[in-house]
Amino acid sequence: MLPFSYERAETLDDARKAVSDGGEQPPTSAAVQFIAGGTNMSDYMRLGVNRPAHLVDINPIPDSSLRTIAITESEVRLGALVRMSEVEDHPGINQRCPMLAESLKLAASRQIRNMASLGGNILQRTRCEYFRETSWPCNKRDPGSGCAAMDGFNRQHAVLGTSDACIATYHGDFAQALIALDASVEILGQAGSRRMRFAELHRLPGDRPEIETVLRPDEIIVAIAVSLPAWAARSGYLKIRDRQSYAFSLASAAVALDLSEETVRDVRIALGGVATVPWRATEAEEALKGKALTEETATKAAEIAFSGAKPRQHNAFKVELGKQTLVRALMDVGQMRI
């Protein structure tokens, strides 16, 4: 592990100012980087994948804007330092939007969720094996070196949103619930604060897979805001994985349904484990709107969701699995009693 220095930020201002050399590089290759729960950062530092020279610990910042879960009639605001387990345990969230709580409950292990923050969670980096072991060529870790996964053992890799440079999956579960509900993020940087749609935070790999988000190195995520229509109570997160707990998804689906009788008034669909970024399946949503929710319409929507899939040698099964996961999630959520 590279020697590094470590600083505890006492205020939000301290934190954003600690990163003076913002520069043009993405936060993940900046000299100064933030650490929250550290479950991703310290792991990847030990592997030599993340190599910050200086760490700014944002945990000591007392601001309630970073630490509280505030729930109103129409919205929930989640501070970036709220721990995953706090949200999964929150009765209001479980009731008003089960998908949010479930996407967290089904992630990692309880020990990790007690430590990991929501801000860190949405910024977690891919688990691509070739990315995590530094002896392989990897465009994301070492731009221009090539992508070992492309023609290698790519069973866990993405089939949607891939590029010729990178096919790494975005593994986070919570982000699928957020993108489905069109959440927004509050960001504070040296240039002041800004708010953006969560859907705009992550970047497709394209030919620059090392740039994962639109954040600048000095920018801190302060909070996440999610609007909660009444029908978000009819929502769920289905995660399919190689074992029943403590594994990243092979395919997952976050689904919320606004039903009038059998008819779909509105629907939100996001797909995890199969795409390079948090993935909202808008065309599949459109295909369902105004229709009755049946196996047939659900299957049709799933076909549409995966129509652009580009499988590689070992991950071809994810196309069929992804479709089946979505159909199952739609049918399960459709049958929920709320």
Partner 1 sequence: MNEAAPRPKENMGEPLPRIDGRLKVTGQAPYPADIPVNNLAHAVLVTSEIARGRITALHLDKARAVPGVIEIFTSESLHGDLEKPKFGPASTSIGPLHDTKIWHDGQIMALVIAETIEAAREAAMRVTADYDEEKPSTGFGSEGTETVAATEASKQFKEDVKAGDFNAAFASAPVTIDAEYLMPTHHHNPIELFSTTAYWQGEDLVVHEPSQNVHGWKVEIARQLKIEPDRVRVISPYIGGAFGSKGPVTPRTALVALVARRLGRPVRCVVTRPQAFTTQTYRAETRHHIQMGATQDGKITAFRHEGWEVTSRPDPYVVGGTSTTGRMYDYGSVLTKVFLVKADRPTPSYMRSPPETPYVYALESAMDEMAVALDMDPVEFRRINDATHEPIEGKPFSSRPLMECYDEAAREFGWSRRSLQPGSMRDGDWMIGMGCATAIYPANIAPCAVRIILTDDGRARVQTASHEIGTGIRTVAAQLTAEQLGLDIGAIEVEMGDTRLPAAPVAGGSNTTASVSSAIMKACGEIREKLARAAVTAKDGPFSGQDPHSVVFREGKLVAGNASQELKDIFELLGSGVIEQYSEFRPEATSPEAVSKLYKGKMEMVSGEKGEMVKYAFGAEFVEVHIHRRTREIRVPRIVGAFAGGRIMNTRTARSQLMGGMIWGISSALHEATEFDHRSARVVNRDLQDYLVPVNADIQEVTVILVPEVDKDANPAGIKGLGELGNVGTAAAIASAVYHATGQRIRQLPIRIDSLIG
Ligand X SMILES: Cc1cc2nc3c(=O)[nH]c(=O)nc-3n(C[C@H](O)[C@H](O)[C@H](O)COP(=O)(O)OP(=O)(O)OC[C@H]3O[C@@H](n4cnc5c(N)ncnc54)[C@H](O)[C@@H]3O)c2cc1C
Contact residues toward ligand SF4 (CB under 6 A) are 126, 128, 130-131, 138-140, 147-149, 166-168, 209
1 binds partner 1 (CB under 8 A): yes
Residue 133 binds: one of partner 1, ligand X, ligand SF4, none (C-beta under 5 to 8 A by kind): partner 1
54 binds partner 1 (CB under 8 A): no
Structure tokens at 105: 């409950």
Tell me the DSSP string of 194-207: EEEEGGGTB---TT
- Shortest distance, position 105 Cβ to ligand X, whole Å: 10
The residue type at 268: R
Q: Which stretch binds partner 1 (CB under 8 A): 56-64, 79-87, 116-124, 315-323?
A: 315-323
38 binds partner 1 (CB under 8 A): no
CA atoms within 13 Å, Cβ hemisphere of 187: 19
Task: Rule CB under 8 A: choose which of 94, 153, 303, 336 binds partner 1.
Answer: 153
What whole-number distance in Å separates Cα of residue 111 and Cα of residue 109? 5
152 binds partner 1 (CB under 8 A): yes
Q: Which of 184, 213, 188 is nearest to 27 (CA)?
A: 213
Residue 2 binds: one of partner 1, ligand X, ligand SF4, none (C-beta under 5 to 8 A by kind): partner 1
Residue 131 binds: one of ligand X, ligand SF4, partner 1, none (C-beta under 5 to 8 A by kind): ligand SF4
* Residues 6 or more apart whose Cβ sits within 8 Å of residue 317: none
* Unique residue bearing structure tokens 């109103």: 72
Residue 33 binds: one of ligand SF4, partner 1, ligand X, none (C-beta under 5 to 8 A by kind): ligand X
Q: Cα separations (Å) of 186 from 32, 79, 136, 197, 324? A: 21, 9, 36, 9, 35
Residue 242 binds: one of ligand SF4, ligand X, partner 1, none (C-beta under 5 to 8 A by kind): partner 1
Residue 184 binds: one of ligand SF4, partner 1, ligand X, none (C-beta under 5 to 8 A by kind): none
Tell me the DSSP string of 249-285: -SEEEEEEEEEETTEEEEEEEEEESSBSS-EE-HHHH
Q: Which of 161, 132, 167 is nearest to 147 (CA)?
A: 167
Task: Rule CB under 8 A: choose which of 7, 14, 75, 133 binds partner 1.
Answer: 133
95 binds partner 1 (CB under 8 A): no
State how far Cα 331 lies from the chain centre: 24
Residue 245 binds: one of ligand SF4, partner 1, ligand X, none (C-beta under 5 to 8 A by kind): partner 1
Structure tokens at 107: 């992630």
Give me the 245-274 binding string for partner 1, x by CB under 8 A, dash otherwise.
xxx--xx-----------------------
Structure tokens at 106: 């089904």
> Which residues in this chain contact partner 1 in the complex, by CB under 8 A?
1-3, 48, 127, 129-130, 133-135, 148, 151-153, 155-156, 240-247, 250-251, 314, 316-317, 319-321, 324-325, 327-328
